Amino acid sequence: MIRFNTQFYIPKTNVNFKRHTGHEESIVNGQKISLNNYTTFFRDYNTLEFTRDYILKNYPHGANITEFGCSMGHKPYSLMVMLDKSNQDNKYKITGYDFPEVIRKANDYSIYGIARFIDGEQILFDDCKNPEILKKTNLTKEEISDIRKIFYKYFDICEDKDYSHREYCKLKQIVANKEFADTPEIQEIKRKIFYDDTKYDNKMIVTPNKRAKELVTFKVGDIRNIDKILEPKKSSVIIFQNALYHILYGGKLSYELKQAYSNLQEIENVFKKVNFVLPQNGIFVIGTFPHDHMFNHYGEMLTRADSLNGENVRIFDFSPIHIALKNSGFETEFYDFSGYHSYNDGKKIYFPAVWKKVKEASL
């Protein structure tokens, strides 16, 4: 049976990326690859909040903040909102990079469906009452209301679809009543539920206004060329979050260990290039998506017990990815727990989500 976790759906077998939300085929450097463009506003809030706080504390006079793999730009826009009060003089420049087709959508299409079923996005709805989101993020009701006010200062509401919730429940019911089968009918239903986000599962369709578009820029760029794209030492924050697995699994995204091992050298080269463009103490945000850390291959075996802020937790920070980061001049700066794989013996699993450049690495 298909398992639903709010709107996000994880097939139990979890071997084939094609069934994930946001899946797309794309041609990159003449090769057909699988991409996942799924993203949301205020996704992985704790890491986002840490990033904002690090920026405010360490770069009070301004900084360039760059996200590779930005998809339609939900994270750059979320950071724009979260930095708003300190950015009246445009000292924080936020740029998102991705492949050409994706950037075309971010620049030209510029329409965003926001959903009340998504952890981060539900704070954008007046009737957000979910105590879980407050618990998970430590946000107070006042802070949520503040974020909402700022968001709608930059985003105009195009449509408010009251029918969408009903439609979502109806389709969810149809799928839940069927055994999983990849028939064209099921594919179409899934596409409607999970993918065609301007029509179905969202309550509101929004579009960034002129001011938002001035503050966030979208450009074509592959992180593997970051050393040619960015001027060295000029971007203090580089984000490549929920995206590393695209390189690790060679654009096939079937999560094979052999594939990951054969791409580890390429991954380490990317880390060294990121190191090259960051200034000392600049941060590299990779987030907590388990596949980005190769957690799926080692799982609980490689976790270790520790305590973070007085809480007993499990930490997963010794996979080949973490070794490659250390080899590339980085040290962990912030651990966050994964919303995608939460518990091990009742304890949260924390991943090293943010890394700091502590020394130069030779390319």
Cβ closest to ligand SAM, residue 223 vs residue 313: 223
Write down the least CB distance from residue 145 to ligand SAM, Å.
24
Report whether 203 contacts 150 (CB < 8 A). Answer: no
Write out the binding residues for ligand SAM, residues 204-263 only, by CB under 6 A.
222-224, 241-243, 246-247
Write down the least CB distance from residue 99 to ligand SAM, Å.
5
Q: What is the CA radius of gyration of the chain?
A: 20
Helix (H, G, I), strand (E, B) or coil at 191: helix
Cα distance between residue 241 and residue 78, in whole Å: 14
Cα distance between residue 287 and residue 324, in whole Å: 16
Report whether 134 contacts 141 (CB < 8 A). Answer: yes
Site membership for ligand SAM, residue 336 (CB under 6 A): no
Beta bridge partners of 24: 35
Write down the least CB distance from residue 225 to ligand SAM, Å.
8
- Binding-site member from 7, 59, 65, 69 for ligand SAM (CB under 6 A): 69
Report whether 222 contacts 56 (CB < 8 A). Answer: no
Write down the least CB distance from residue 226 to ligand SAM, Å.
8
Site membership for ligand SAM, residue 137 (CB under 6 A): no
Write down the least CB distance from residue 181 to ligand SAM, Å.
26
Cα distance between residue 341 and residue 350, in whole Å: 9
Residue ranges in the chain assigned as alpha helix (H): 45-58, 74-83, 100-104, 131-137, 141-154, 163-176, 184-190, 210-215, 226-229, 244-248, 257-277, 295-298, 320-327
Write down the least CB distance from residue 121 to ligand SAM, Å.
12
In 3D space, the residue among 129, 50, 118 whose CA is nearest the CA of residue 287 turns out to be 50
Write down the least CB distance from residue 301 to ligand SAM, Å.
26
Name residue, tokens 């695209």. Answer: 246
Site membership for ligand SAM, residue 84 (CB under 6 A): no
- Binding-site member from 34, 71, 288, 319 for ligand SAM (CB under 6 A): 71
Q: How many CB atoms lie within 10 A of CB 339?
A: 18
Cβ closest to ligand SAM, residue 150 vs residue 220: 220
> 27-66 mask for ligand SAM (x: CB under 6 A)?
--------xxxxx---x-----------------------
Q: What does the CA dihedral 286, 292, 297, 300 come to, rounded to 10 degrees?
A: 40
Site membership for ligand SAM, residue 98 (CB under 6 A): yes
Site membership for ligand SAM, residue 120 (CB under 6 A): no
Tokens coding 194? 């999970």
Cβ closest to ligand SAM, residue 24 vs residue 306: 24
Q: Considering CB under 6 A, how many residues would be counted as binding ligand SAM?
A: 23
- Binding-site member from 70, 94, 118, 260 for ligand SAM (CB under 6 A): 70
Q: Which stretch binds ligand SAM (CB under 6 A): 8-16, 47-55, 93-101, 117-125?
A: 93-101
Query: Residues interacting with ligand SAM, by CB under 6 A?
Result: 35-39, 43, 68-71, 75, 97-99, 102, 222-224, 241-243, 246-247
